[in-house]
Structure formats: structure tokens, C-alpha cells
Amino acid sequence: MIIMAENLDLFSQYRMGDLTLPNRMVMAPLTRNRAGDADVPVSMTATYYVQRASAGMIISEGSQVSPQGVGYMHTPGIYSAAQVDGWKKVTDAIHRAGGRIFIQLWHVGRVSHSDLLGGTLPVAPSALPVEGSIHTPGGKKPIPVPRALKTDEVPEIVRQFRKAAENARSAGFDGVEIHGANGYLLDQFLRSGSNTRTDEYGGSLENRTRLPLEVTKAVIEVWGGNRVGYRISPHNTGHSMSDANPQETFSYFTRELNKTGLGYLHLIEPIGGRMGFVPPEARLGPTLRRIFERTFILNGGYGLHSGNEAIASGEADLIAFGVPFLANPDLPERFRKNAPLNEPDVATFYRGGAKGYTDYPALVKR
């Protein structure tokens, strides 16, 4: 139920389970392609996140749960001891700075290339072609037709997420977000346009949601529901994604997620800007907000005024900001002072090095 609360805004404290957030501004997960050898976070990673520790909560860049889940060069993982150690340095630094950070658990599925996977094909629910290309060590190449996972291979995906969740605890994170958005593996199983299976993981809504729900339950067994979130993007059509009935699919899935005790649902639903625009009549946010009983996060082109309106109206409990946090490490302070925002340097979003990563200025240098 949406309740008007005009005294609430982005600067209000928020109690999320057993965590108290000092404000309602979440740093959205942002792929930055700055990981070191063996996909290990580096010292610059800690600098980057510490600069943004004033967020109510940080959600890290997507971190692959296994070597099979890799889809991009220089993205961090959370499946090896070295990666856990690398992330531990990041979380320790965040906590010393007074921040809170969740890690996003990621398996790209079919959005990859054999050059990144030791010569093996990417895996998916179904062997369907995918539009787009991938940057590989050998240059930019078309995404190949993936290999459909066999039924007896699917439990291994659940195991990978469970182990990654355990590793995230060892690395000192405050919680985890399951990446079920943007056309990656769990999204591929969920939506009818990418899942044409005829076994217990395809066909009906019950079957298409089976793997995402099995993963969610496994991660909750490790962390408890309060410290687990799930991200969805019903309107995303990239990577050849589609669904015959998004309203039905995502309403059903949200009801099932709600039953698991999941701590938060993170919906990407663009209201404008770089992320595009979903017209009001097509938005699923109001419906999913009524269904989901715990913390509800919106993401998609929000600014100071639209974010405050969404909080005050009860459309969301928290607002996630991506590019604004990327370019403004002190975004909460800038919003509070209604100060100008830094212009993002798009050319450096996915390029290695400090430029466009740790060199965006704060209002007051510390």
C-alpha cells in the first residue's frame, strides 16, 4: 500500500531490516572494468567506493559468481580466495569510512564469448541467437549462439550463487544483491523470449521462475532475508530480451519473491535521462510496490526533485542513483546543498585507470 509521507525525503533515515541507513540514496551497481589480474579488486577500487561512502547504501558493481559467469574483461569476481581478499580490503575501508556496502552477485549467461570462457560456449536456458557484441582480448566480437544448460547442470548454478554468497560474508560485505536484470542468466530464465525450455525450468511461469527462486532461497539461507536483495529490469530489451506478458510475469515473480522473506526488491524503470523513458501507463512500479511487502528501491533517471517526490508519495522506500554517483562522489552533500553536479565523462566509464574513476572532484576537498 502506498502512503503519502510528505515529511520524508531522500535525506530521511531508513530502517532496512536490522540496518539503519542515514539517507535514502543508494549507489546503484555500476560496471567499471577496473579489476586487476585474475579479476581481483585493486587498491583503486577501495578508493573509488570510499569516496562514495556517504550513500545510504552502496551496491557494488556486478561480481561474477564463477568463471562461467564472466562476460566482460576486468570485472571483479567473488569465487576465488584472492578475490575475497581483494574485496575484504574494500569493505574494511568502507566500514572505516562509516559506509555500508552490498555486493551484486552476477552470472551473465549467454552475454559472453568463448574467448572469455577458456574456449567454451556461454550457457543459457536456450540456444537462441543474441544481438550484440562483446569486447574480448582479441577485439570486439559478435556474441555467439550459447549452449543450453542441461537439466542436471542447473543445480550447479544454484551452488555457484550459494558459494558466492558465502564468500561475500567472508569478504565483509553487509549483504548481497542478486543480479536478475539486464538480460543476464537469471533474467534469461525468467522471460519467455529467452527461455523456450520444455523441462521443469521452462514453459509455465512456475517453471521459468524456478531457477531465480532457487537461487534466492539459497542465498537467503546464507545471509537471512533482511540482507538479500534482487534486481529486475522488466522493460530492458537489450541482448535480445523480451517477454510475452511482462505484467503477468513480474507480478507473479514478485509475489513469489515476497514469500521468500527477501529484504528488498530493486526495480529498474526509467523515467527519463540516459536510461530512456517508460510511459506512466506501462510502468510496473505501482503494481509491484503493492505486492512486495518489504523495502522497495526504484532506479532509472531520478534526480533530487523526482527522487524526493517518489519517497514522499510512497512510490519507493529508497532511490538508486547510478551515473550521478559515478560522477559525484559526494552526491548526498550536493543534493542537500542543491549544488551543481559534475558532468560525467562517458568515454571513461569502462576504461581502465583513475581518470573518470577516482578523479571526480568533491565540493570540498578532504
State the sign of the Cα–Cα–Cα–Cα dihedral 115, 86, 179, 166. positive
Catalytic residue status for 184: yes
Phi, psi of 327 (to 5 degrees): -90, -10
Catalytic position from the list 14, 72, 184, 252: 184
Amino acid at 59: I
Q: What helix, strand, coil percent values describe the chain, rounded to 5?
A: 35, 15, 45
- Residue 328: burial class (beta carbons within 10 Å; 0-12, 13-18, 19+): buried
Half-sphere exposure at residue 111, Cβ-oriented, CA atoms within 13 angstroms: 21
DSSP one-letter string for 40-104: ---HHHHHHHHHTTTSSEEEEEEEESSGGG--STT--BSSSHHHHHHHHHHHHHHHHTT--EEEE
Strands 295-299 and 14-16: unpaired
Query: Which residues does the annotation mark as catalytic?
Result: 184
